[in-house]
Amino acid sequence: MVEKGELMAIIGNSGSGKSTLLNMIGGLDRPSAGKLYVDGKDLLKFTDRELVKYKRETVGFVWQNNARNLIPYLTAQENVELPMMFLRSQRERHNRAKELLDMVGLSHRRNNKLEQLSGGEQQRVAIAIALANQPKLLLADEPTGAVDTRTAAQILDVFRDLNSNLGLTIVIVTHDQQVSRKVDRVVAIRDGRTSSEFIRRRSYKEELEAMESLDAMEEQEDTHEELAVLDRAGRLQIPREYLERLGMMGAKKIKVELEDDRIVLVKPEGQEKKAKAK
């Protein structure tokens, strides 16, 4: 579940299902089964017309490949105005585009064409386009995948500011480990299922304040707490690295014991090494 006003990330290996999930939330793919509710509406029950309206008014998309967002022979301003063509007057489009470009820090580049913009600037134009029709939900598929580390950090800061200042709900699919330090919740997907969540131990504001001290440099790697996710039947996916460390990979059966307030997983051979989960 994605909470209203949340900034979260979805991580997982290639083929785990994270981009498919994003496409279903965005109305680009239709689920074959299950339930999918966005803004209180069941997407599985949408007619084609309702789905078009949903994609136009409720959700915005930012892609890794700028070619899916931008038209190269138009200026940044014209690119942002384009999705508003049939919904606003020319003056309203112009003013709204200026406002959005200022919001992503590109007001000084609004008359530049794409070839005059860096990769990071192009991605920020793409974010402005995704916001043109005031969506309630912004989806970003690998938005930092084609830029360097410094530019990726700048793009993530834009998402953070939009979430904080507008209360915009943002979901980011990524392989970028920087993202976990910029968002409050990270969901890991394995084989199409949610396997664990990483919850921020303290607020992002507190993290920024702590980074001013030398101690923060030592704490940066431990900003989140990992929680395994149980399904309705009480099943969970144990991280592969845990099983490998305990020599349990490939085991079809594991002994489960209850010790006080702990669930203990024991090697089938009965060896003493145990995996404990609070």
- Does the pLDDT at position 47 exceed 80? yes
Three-state SS string over the chain comes to CCCCCCEEEEECCCCCCHHHHHHHHCCCCCCCCCCCEECCEEHHHCCHHHHHHHHHHCEEEECCCHHHCCCCCCEHHHHHHHHHCCCCCHHHHHHHHHHHHHHCCCHHHCCCEHHHCCHHHHHHHHHHHHCCCCCCEEEEECCCCCCCHHHHHHHHHHHHHHHHHHCCEEEEECCCCCHHHHCCEEEEEECCEEEEEEEECCCHHHHHHHCCCHHHHHHHHHCEEEEECCCCCCCCCCCHHHHHHCCCCCCCCCEEEEECCEEEEECCCCCCCEEEEC
The pLDDT tens digits for 129-184 are 999 989 999 999 988 887 888 888 889 999 999 998 889 999 998 877 677 777 87
Percent of the chain with pLDDT over 70: 78
Find the mean pLDDT for residues 213-225. Answer: 51
Q: How confident is the model at residue 254 (pLDDT cuts 50, 70, 90)?
A: confident
Q: Specify the higher pLDDT residue, 240 or 78.
A: 78
Q: Specify the higher pLDDT residue, 59 or 224.
A: 59
Q: How confident is the model at residue 80 (pLDDT cuts 50, 70, 90)?
A: very high
In the chain, domain spans:
7-228, 240-277
CATH number of 7-228: 3.40.50.300
